[in-house]
Amino acid sequence: QKAANGLAGRKSIAVLPFTAITKSEEDEIFKEGIHDDIITQLAKIKDLKVIARTSVTRYKNTEKRAREIGQDLGVNALLEGSVRRSGDRIRIVAQLIDAENEEHLWAETFDRNYSDIFKVQSDVAQQIAIALKATLTPEERHLIQQKPTKNMEAYDYFLKGNHYWS
């Protein structure tokens, strides 16, 4: 069945909806933005099959096990995580799970300044590529490391706009 899904020899991942440590509106908006941005960063790596956001949103607050989600989506790995934002500080916990045996492949906690969010997203994408043994070309690495904006207020408005639009 894996060959039928196109998984034979291909690295594949689904980024599950992140959870917010607090239920503040700020954290809810932030977690949606992190989720979307990490999917976008991973999609820049041609050696990875990355499942679309619309396909993974049904797993928000799910009780399903990693193996079952992996089979549903036809992926080798799942990324799950949590976020918290407090003023200028952020905490992101990311865990890469082998979808077949439900073991951790990689996990990291990032305690950073909010202005470092794009660096965190870049680091997560690169660490996932390494953990999944995906080829990351110099061009892809450059794309992943680019900051979409230097204006964090503009980024906040972008996240809020996406939240209220969807």
pLDDT single digits (tens) 28-81? 888 999 999 999 999 999 999 999 999 999 999 899 999 999 999 999 999 999
Average pLDDT of every residue of the chain: 90
- Whether 36 is in a domain gets the answer yes
Would you say residue 135 lies in a domain?
Answer: yes
Q: What angle do CA 18, 49, 1 make, to 5 degrees?
A: 105
**Cα three-residue angle 139-35-161, rounded to 5 degrees:** 105
pLDDT of 5 above 60: no
Distance CA 37, CA 31 (A): 10
pLDDT band at 3 (very low <50, low <70, confident <90, very high): very low
4 occurs within a structural domain: no
Number of independent structural domains in the chain: 1
111 is written with which tokens?
């305690």
Asked, for residue 24, whether it belongs to a domain, the answer is yes
